[in-house]
Amino acid sequence: MAHLHFRRLLLALVLTLSATLSAPAAPTATPAPEDLPRPVPGDIGLAGARCPDISRYLNVRSAVAPSPAPDGKRIAYRTSVTGQPQLWVSGGSGVSRQITFGESVTGAEWSPDGRWIAYAVDRGGNEREGYYLISPDGLSERELLAPAQAFRVWGGFSPDGSQVAYAATEEGGDDFNIYVLDVASGRSRRVYIGKGGVYVAAWKPDGNGLLLSRVRGEDANDLLYLDLTTGQARDLLAPAEASANLSPAWSRDGRGFYLATNQDRDTSALAYYDLGAGQLQILEAPAHEVEAVALSGEGRYLAWSENVNGFSRLRVRDLVTGRTETPAGLPAGVIGTLEWARRAPRLAVSLSGPRVSGDIWLYDAATRKLARSTESATAGLAPERFVEPQAVSFPSHDGLTIHGLWYRPPTPAGAKLPAVLLVHGGPTGQARPDFDGVTQYLLARGYAVLDLNFRGSTGYGKRFARLDNGRLRPNAVKDMAAAADWLKGQGVGPVAVMGGSYGGYLTFAALTTLSDRFQAGVGFVGVSNWLTALAGASPTLKASDRYEYGNIDDPADREFFKDLSPITHVASVRAPLMVLHGANDPRDPVGEADQLVSAIRGRNGDVEYLRFPDEGHGIRKLSNRVTAYRRIARFLERTLGPGATDCTAQ
């Protein structure tokens, strides 16, 4: 009897265990405790190793966003040497000094009199900035405008430095108004009531007016002139077909301004707008896009950059002699900032490239000499081992030519390469050959990388940038299928898709609608449900969302967005997915990640989640970046297998 009782107990145990294994697991609350990252110290490894740890690549430094002193002898810039972006000042002796030490610095500008540097910070990536003044030696500091719940966008010092302009929402509002703040008293006054996204583009040289930029979509804006003496505003460039009118630079006499524009054109050209005549004159119309435009303080030298297959070309014209040149000495890469000193013909240029992690050069237009001002550390990695990409193009499903940057690691011929398809954010961004430590890490491990410019990307003309607007959006997802097929033709093995922001949405969309093409996905701060994402977006995004996507209040659009949302098709997810999001994200609220992860877990899917409590729309802090990308590296190795590089013989 005892034996029979034992057998019955054993049978009951087996049946219970069998039922437990076959039944769906109870949904895990999201976020779960394990979703909250816990930084763990790791060995960075030895310099010169065949396969360095990813933390080395994340410790590669860069210097960005230069603002020169009025005399051009010093430069303020941002770098993350301390683990998050802080403000530094380099002197003529080549010595640099850190002058801020708090929250991440999001922007900075040297005052016209040289006494102060204005800088902006938010709180944990929430994009609600406060403004401060600090002396160039870092020994004196003053709050200019305290952080609040309003969203703000810096608009710059007035020419005499007595005022600053900025755009801001009301707390809880979506529309931006324009304000002018008196630097001495700290008092602000509203000078323009805006609708949607309106920002300060440039002060008029006499200080009596502002050029304002009014959003008309992700890739377009109008320009209007606000007379500060009368309070009246009038449209200058507001064509029927929305166009990009970027980087305006006033002529010294205030009679007009230079800019990059694609009005009545497909690609952006260098132009001059005559304020009195109301006429736009094209000055330079290359076959590729003109981007940043900058005019020297005395009005003699005009600089601009051109986008040639993603690489930047710097051009400088002497408006007195008419001579135009391409300064020699800049490495291949992408120009981020062009800014002249106010009282000297010295141009600060920031550039990042495949073999340059991000540094600043100073061009003296009078002597026509270019000198490197910073030299960022590469964390014990040899820049000559970094891989440069090849610009490639191939047809999509409907015959449209799409583009990308193809990185192939230096592995033996015939080696079977796993690959990662990168999809950028925006959507009106562009895959460009700047330095990316994660890409170089993957290449060192023997993963191939295709950085895709799907339809909707910038850099290929206005028409191409708008081929994913509204109801055309599913075609961008199909471009990823074409990219996966192209990769197969290059002889690569399993493929993962990875992207952030809009690229995060594309990652989720790829795993829900293209499950046969991708073996894994990594999505950062992406949209999973367009209905909740568009409703919860920050005012800066809402200003352009209706142009780019549509109106969720319209029943037909609402049904379209529902079908477009990855969450609607979550049952189709077959491949493993890793999701990363910042809890303070104001652009794509963290609920986008929570609901997707919860839905996949409810179906016993393979999903990993990292939810950072101190980050916003991205990952700024070095400790968090190391945590995130070590997990990503392990995830890719688990799902795609090791790369083609033999890392055992180190």
For the chain, which residues make up each domain, given as ranges? 28-57+381-640, 243-377
498: which strand partners?
A: 422, 522
Q: Is the pLDDT of residue 393 over 60?
A: yes
Q: How many CB atoms lie within 10 A of CB 93?
A: 7
| Residue in the structure block whose two tokens are 């303070």 | 584
Residue 169 — pLDDT band, cuts 50, 70, 90? very high
Q: Which residue did the predictor score with more confidence, 628 or 1?
A: 628
pLDDT tens for residues 275-307?
999 999 999 999 999 999 999 999 999 999 999
Residue 358 — pLDDT band, cuts 50, 70, 90? very high
Segment among 82-91, 334-343, 536-545 with least mean pLDDT: 536-545
Segment among 169-178, 200-209, 594-603 with least mean pLDDT: 169-178
Q: Is the pLDDT of residue 94 over 80?
A: no
Q: Is the pLDDT of residue 11 over 60?
A: no
pLDDT value, residue 537: 75
Segment among 29-43, 254-268, 444-458, 485-499 with least mean pLDDT: 29-43
pLDDT value, residue 542: 63
145: which strand partners?
A: 131
Q: What is the mean pLDDT of residues 519-523?
A: 96
SS3 38: coil
pLDDT value, residue 17: 30
Name which of 392, 528, 529, 372 is nearest 453 in CA terms. Answer: 392
Q: Is the pLDDT of residue 51 over 80?
A: yes
Q: Is the pLDDT of residue 3 over 50?
A: no
Q: What is the mean pLDDT of residues 136-148?
A: 95
Residue 322 — pLDDT band, cuts 50, 70, 90? very high
626 contacts 54 by C-beta, under 8 angstroms: yes
Distance CA(104)–CA(102), nearest Å, equals 7
Name which of 359, 466, 318 is nearest 90 in CA terms. Answer: 359
Extract the tokens encoding 129.
């900035």
Distance CA(528)–CA(594), nearest Å, equals 9
Residue 50 — pLDDT band, cuts 50, 70, 90? confident
Q: What is the mean pLDDT of residues 111-126?
A: 93
Extract the tokens encoding 637.
């190795």
Superfamily covering domain 28-57+381-640:
Alpha/Beta hydrolase fold, catalytic domain (3.40.50.1820)
pLDDT value, residue 380: 93
Q: Is the pLDDT of residue 6 over 50?
A: no
Q: What is the mean pLDDT of residues 144-166?
A: 96
Distance CA(270)–CA(282), nearest Å, equals 6
Q: What is the mean pLDDT of residues 499-521?
A: 94
pLDDT value, residue 33: 87
Q: Is the pLDDT of residue 92 over 80?
A: no
Q: Is the pLDDT of residue 552 over 80?
A: no
Q: Is the pLDDT of residue 15 over 50?
A: no
Q: Is the pLDDT of residue 623 over 90?
A: no
pLDDT value, residue 83: 81
Question: What's the chain's length in residues?
Answer: 650
112 contacts 344 by C-beta, under 8 angstroms: no
Share of the chain above pLDDT 70, in %: 93
| Residue in the structure block whose two tokens are 């995130």 | 628
Average pLDDT, the chain: 89
Name which of 519, 464, 476 is nearest 495 in CA terms. Answer: 519
Backbone angles phi, psi at 421, to 5 degrees: -95, 115
pLDDT value, residue 547: 65
Name which of 460, 480, 418 is nearest 443 in CA terms. Answer: 418
Segment among 260-264, 267-271, 371-375, 584-588 with least mean pLDDT: 584-588
Which listed CATH number (1.20.1090.10, 2.60.40.10, 2.120.10.30, 1.20.1250.20) goes with 243-377? Answer: 2.120.10.30
Extract the tokens encoding 160.
């005499």
Q: Is the pLDDT of residue 21 over 70?
A: no
Q: Which residue did the predictor score with more confidence, 139 or 535?
A: 139
Find the helix or strand (DSSP H, E) in which 530 lies: helix 530-536
- What's at 171, amino acid-wise? E
Extract the tokens encoding 353.
């490239």
Distance CA(637)–CA(618), nearest Å, equals 23
Whether cis (ω within 30° of 0) applies to the bond prior to 24 is no
pLDDT value, residue 49: 84
